[in-house]
């Protein structure tokens, strides 16, 4: 069954698609599962035929402190990003933001090596990643819990560049990704 009518109650330039509803929406693009520690995980040559991207990450740090999962798009290491978060740590709820950053991050997603077998997790949604008219805004829900402390965070980030995203480089704020860390990239069909 299809939606046969899709409207905007507005002015010119409305675009609507009628498509068969029984199409296949979410496809895995690539996964990296580490058999040993590694400094970075990257996805390159990302197909441009999806509408949105989703990243599902499960990670651990090789250091003795919890680390952020950080990333950059298309090799851009300049101060072209902003980041914001809404965080709970068991003691209170906090929010903060920063402009002109050189990266986007998911706070405290990579659990310290001190807690054996404990990994943090985050789900990252990047909408309209291939749209050439829009800066790229991402939304992330993630956190970590180690039975002594924990953080649950709604993060966001923006890459101030209208170029389509063709690559993503992930890395920890310090140290390496530990063994069995996994990052999976999915495409959500256009």
| Segment 66 to 105, residues that bind other proteins, using CB under 8 A | 82, 84-100
Instruction: Give the integer Cα–Cα distance in Å for 103 and 153.
Output: 17
Determine, following the binding rule CB under 8 A, whether residue 62 of this chain makes contact with other proteins. Answer: no
Decide whether 3 or 39 has the Cβ nearer to other proteins.
3
**Residue 51 burial (CB < 10 Å; 0-12/13-18/19+)?**
middle
Place of tokens 């390496």: 176
Instruction: Give the integer Cα–Cα distance in Å for 174 and 190.
Output: 36
Determine, following the binding rule CB under 8 A, whether residue 120 of this chain makes contact with other proteins. Answer: yes
Using CB under 8 A, which of 107, 110, 157, 170 touches other proteins? Answer: 157
Q: In this structure, what token pair is assigned to residue 14?
A: 């409305």
Q: In this structure, what token pair is assigned to residue 189?
A: 């069909």
Residues 9-28 close enough to bind other proteins by CB under 8 A: 9-19, 21-28
For other proteins, what does the binding mask look like between residues 30 and 59, x meaning CB under 8 A?
xx-------------------xx---x-x-
Decide whether 24 or 36 has the Cβ nearer to other proteins.
24
């Amino acid at each position: 069954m299809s939606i046969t009518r899709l409207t905007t109650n507005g002015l010119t330039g409305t675009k609507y698609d009628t498509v068969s509803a029984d199409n296949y929406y979410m496809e895995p693009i690539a996964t990296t599962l580490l058999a040993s520690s590694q400094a970075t995980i990257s996805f390159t040559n990302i197909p441009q035929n999806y509408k949105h991207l989703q990243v599902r990450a499960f990670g651990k740090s090789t250091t003795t402190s919890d680390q952020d999962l950080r990333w950059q798009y298309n090799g851009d290491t300049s101060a072209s990003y902003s980041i914001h978060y809404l965080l709970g740590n068991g003691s209170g709820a906090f929010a903060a933001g920063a402009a002109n950053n050189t990266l986007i991050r998911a706070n405290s997603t990579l659990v310290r090596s001190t807690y054996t077998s404990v990994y943090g997790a985050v789900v990252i949604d990047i909408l309209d990643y291939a749209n050439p008219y829009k800066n790229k805004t991402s939304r992330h829900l993630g956190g970590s819990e180690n039975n002594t402390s924990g953080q649950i965070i709604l993060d966001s980030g923006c890459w101030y560049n209208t170029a389509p995203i063709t690559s993503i480089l992930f890395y920890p704020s310090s140290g390496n990704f530990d063994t069995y860390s996994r990052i999976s990239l999915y495409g959500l069909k256009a």
